[in-house]
Amino acid sequence: MGSMTDDRQLAEALRQKDEKAFSIFVTRFQPMVARVIFKITGDMNDTNDLTQDVFLTVWEQVEDFRGEAALTTWVYQLATNKALNHLKWEKRRQFFSLSYWGSDTKNTSLPKSLNDAPGRLIREDDSNAITAALDQLPGQQKAAFVLSKSEGLSNPEIATILGLSVSAVESLNFRAKQNLTRLLKTYYQSKTT
């Protein structure tokens, strides 16, 4: 098989369980899959595990890819669904966990250097505020917003990935923006008082 730049060629090679094709597939899609999952879950450990799960799912279920949409769309769909399902599971697990009632067990921020400049601290604080606000959005709102703003996908592409109508995606993005505006407004007002 020549160069596997064509999605159909790559999908067909994957159906044949071609390990070289799988390696090409992982190299091509790993950054995108990890980025989407991290933006939705906010946790690097979860991102690594879920990214591997996505590629395992592709290997095991590539026959389910019918080619009606682009291979990229199918992969976005798998990654988004894995991340959303994980968030649902995590929410249930935290509710029934003893740690939910006491301490905060999920710290996703990276350690800060002691030599950070004040400007960097402000940007980092802003970034943390945005991440915290995103984490408060309902799963599908968060997924639609991340796929739109972070991944630059169109509403029809997002609709295909999430299995929704275009108008439902538009509504999710509108509500996500409203909720983020409200949450960030509250955050910044509390900082100025």
* Range(s) of the domain holding residue 149: 120-193
Q: Is residue 114 part of a domain?
A: no
CA contacts within 13 A on the Cβ side of 63 = 3
Q: What integer pLDDT is reported at residue 24 of this predicted model?
A: 94
Identify residue 120 by its one-letter amino acid code.
R
What span, in angstroms and rounded, lies between the C-alpha atoms of 105 and 112?
19
Angle at 85 between CA 82 and CA 89, to 5 degrees: 130
Q: What integer pLDDT is reported at residue 98 of this predicted model?
A: 43
Q: What integer pLDDT is reported at residue 110 of this predicted model?
A: 39
Same domain, 124 and 36: no
Q: Is 184 exposed, middle or buried (0-12, 13-18, 19+ CB in 10 A)?
A: middle
Low-confidence stretches of the chain (pLDDT beneath 50):
1-3, 95-122
Same domain, 149 and 79: no
Alpha-carbon distances of 44 from 3, 37, 105, 114, rounded to whole Å: 32, 9, 14, 23
Q: What integer pLDDT is reported at residue 123 of this predicted model?
A: 55
Q: What integer pLDDT is reported at residue 52 of this predicted model?
A: 95
Same domain, 57 and 135: no
What span, in angstroms and rounded, lies between the C-alpha atoms of 171 and 144?
10
Q: What integer pLDDT is reported at residue 92 of this predicted model?
A: 59
Question: Tell me, what CATH number does 126's domain have?
Answer: 1.10.10.10
What span, in angstroms and rounded, lies between the C-alpha atoms of 147 and 161?
9
Same domain, 18 and 51: yes
Q: What integer pLDDT is reported at residue 21 of this predicted model?
A: 94
Q: Is residue 94 part of a domain?
A: yes
What span, in angstroms and rounded, lies between the C-alpha atoms of 13 and 170?
36
Residue located via tokens 């995108």: 32
Q: What integer pLDDT is reported at residue 94 of this predicted model?
A: 52
Identify residue 90 by its one-letter amino acid code.
E
